[in-house]
Structure 1
Amino acid sequence: MLAHCGGRPEEALRHLAGTVASAPQEPEPYAVLAELWQDRRSELAGVVHDANSLSTVLARSYICFLEGDMDGAALAIGAVTGARPQTAWATAPWFGDERFLGAVSAGALADAAMRTMDHGHELDTDAMRERFRPWFHAIDVVTARSPLPEALARMAILLRACGLIDGSFALCDRADSVERIMLTEVVRAGTWRRLGDPEQAAAAFERALALDPANWSLYLDLADLRAEQGDFAAAVRLVDQGLRHEPAETTLRAAGAAYRARLTGSPADLSELIELAPQLPDDSYLRLLIDHACAGPGLPAELVAAARRSRQAGRG
């Protein structure tokens, strides 16, 4: 293989990745990679473990499997899947192998499942569900032998992303049967929001708060939900509760300013939001807050215009 690629290990890996991409379920390219790794380990080790191109990460996933590092194998194929989910990478023979499914930890498989969603690709289609079928099988096998609540909750996020709502709720229920934790209720809340049921989502956030009452981000989540429903008085109360736990948190302060401006038409609150805008890390959330705030009653037109300019300017 190296001879055909000019003696360059990285080129050999790229060629093998292209072969795997055309038919990930075929065993031959993996056999070639195993032979290449056995013969030229010292030359390939640096390429495989230091570089981050799709081809090297794909090779890393199988080499980790060969070396018995099943957690590393899962994380690498999760990253590859997230980058290009249009290819059914997990149909690789090793991914369904009993050696992998019997040894990969629930935490690593959950991390890998989260990596498959890193780039925001649409997964809720019949074609994607078919490609992700090996992931669903792996989740079934691993959670059966190691039902860790946090891992179950994170895997439930992938099932939700793939449109498997009943399966997502079922994993949350299994997590609760082991131990009730805050994350499980947050995942449930997100699933109810996706289904368009804000009251069920709010109930789940309330249960999450009962489990973790000092978590400021939960107050913000619930406040944002109430704002979506038009209940800005409740949104302000919830943000104020969050600020008692984290008074310097910029996102909470910005949300509070936005929701007070929307509720009362306070120029001071809209001015505070404009001042905080450059510090917010999420442009889409900033735009949402400014849209809410600018709808406040009786706000000066010039201040509203300044707020809208800050929304359009972003972080520049």
Structure 2
Amino acid sequence: MSNQAVAAGVGLARVMAHCGGSPSAAVHYLAGAMASAPGNPEPYAALAELWRVKPSELAEVVQGADSLRTVLAQSYVNFLRGDMDGAALAMGSVTGVRPDIAWADAPWFGDERFLGAVSADALAEAAMRTMDYGHDLDTETMRERFRPWFQAVDVVSAREPLPEALAKMAILLRACGLTDASFALCDQADSVERIMLTEVVRAGTWRKVGDYQQTVAAFERALALEPANWSLCLDLADVHAEQGDFTSAVRLVDQGLRHEPAELSLRAAGAAYRARLTGSVADLSELIELAREMPNDSYRNLLIDHACAGPALPAELVAEARHIRNG
């Protein structure tokens, strides 16, 4: 949006706020101007003016934020109120929905008052929210839009180096293709305290760069930190299965089942990997039964593909499994 159009939107918002008596409509127009030109300070100045004049009415408008524009306005209102954590979380939510807009170019997001007060936990959660909808962030264009996020991560991680928060921030860096920076943040987290999550994040980053051995090593370190964690057993089993090592995959699933014998995904993975390894009819039959209950279709389909490649399995049983996969 041009500066002239932004000014027009701000002017209309002021009319609606004062003469029209509708803070809600004013917020709508101001947030629209922000969305079209996130770095333009004029809409924020107008919203700050509205906050000074009608704080209770504006608070009511943004309190039950249920639209993209209202959440965007909520992020700045939270900043004005001194609620920097709330401001960060709202910004993360907006960014997750439309990462193709450079929302974080908002002047307040790089303000020292924000960067000096937002907690590491809140910024980490906000960073996770930017990835909620699975958009591809690993492009030069996206990295440019996320530049203020990277600056915020640098500042807050240096000020408050909490290992779990740093690990979550490292996930965003990885998603944006900044794998070296993601590894560095994991190393920084380790220098404070070694935790399981950091190793899991590191494993995912090694997987992204295509290093299988380092991926396995990181997952093994994570499992050593939390040996009773069935989910880690399954993660590591899946990595081995991806590489065709179904003997190790079965061993790790069995290890997880000792800690959580009723877990559906473990039972299904165990049946699939044994069927792939040995051609067991009983295991493929068990997978077929379990597959009908699995909520994650993509993981279910992956397990069926592995199982159906087992040696000398009956064609009719394989067809039944593939019918579930394709259905």
- Same fold flag (TM > 0.5): yes
C-alpha deviation, 1:8, in angstroms: 4.0
Q: Aligned pair 1:100/2:114, yes or no?
A: yes
Q: Aligned pair 1:194/2:213, yes or no?
A: no
Counterpart residue type for residue 207 of structure 2: R
In the alignment, the residues of structure 2 paired with residue 44 and residue 308 of structure 1 have an alpha-carbon distance, to the nearest angstrom, of 56
Counterpart residue type for residue 57 of structure 1: V
Counterpart residue type for residue 204 of structure 2: G
The equivalences for 1:47-196 within 5 A come to: 47-196=61-210
C-alpha deviation, 1:45, in angstroms: 2.5
Post-superposition Cα deviations, 1:234-280, rounded to whole Å, max 9, x if no partner, equal 10010000000111111111100110111111121111111111322
* 2:16–2:25 contact (8 Å) kept in structure 1: no
Q: Share of identical aligned residues, percent?
A: 76
Post-superposition Cα deviations, 1:137-166, rounded to whole Å, max 9, x if no partner, equal 111111111011111111000001111111
Q: Aligned pair 1:255/2:237, yes or no?
A: no
C-alpha deviation, 1:9, in angstroms: 3.5
Structure 2: which 5+ runs fail to align? 1-12
In the alignment, the residues of structure 1 paired with residue 65 and residue 23 of structure 2 have an alpha-carbon distance, to the nearest angstrom, of 12
Q: Secondary structure of 2:312's partner?
A: coil
Q: Secondary structure of 1:279's partner?
A: coil
In the alignment, the residues of structure 2 paired with residue 110 and residue 138 of structure 1 have an alpha-carbon distance, to the nearest angstrom, of 10
Number of equivalences: 313
Counterpart residue type for residue 24 of structure 1: P
The counterpart of 1:211, out of the listed 225, 228, 234, is 225
Counterpart residue type for residue 56 of structure 2: S
Name the TM-score, length of structure 2 as normaliser: 0.93
* 1:2–1:8 contact (8 Å) kept in structure 2: no
In angstroms, what is the RMSD of aligned CA positions?
1.3
* 1:219–1:239 contact (8 Å) kept in structure 2: yes
Counterpart residue type for residue 216 of structure 2: A
Residue range with higher mean Cα deviation, 2-11 or 157-166: 2-11
In the alignment, the residues of structure 2 paired with residue 233 and residue 17 of structure 1 have an alpha-carbon distance, to the nearest angstrom, of 56
In the alignment, the residues of structure 2 paired with residue 143 and residue 42 of structure 1 have an alpha-carbon distance, to the nearest angstrom, of 35
Match of 1:273 in 2: 287
Q: Secondary structure of 1:254's partner?
A: helix
C-alpha deviation, 1:298, in angstroms: 1.2
Q: Secondary structure of 2:292's partner?
A: helix
Q: Secondary structure of 2:137's partner?
A: coil
CA distance 1:256–1:125, shift in 2 (3 Å): same
Residue range with higher mean Cα deviation, 238-247 or 14-23: 14-23
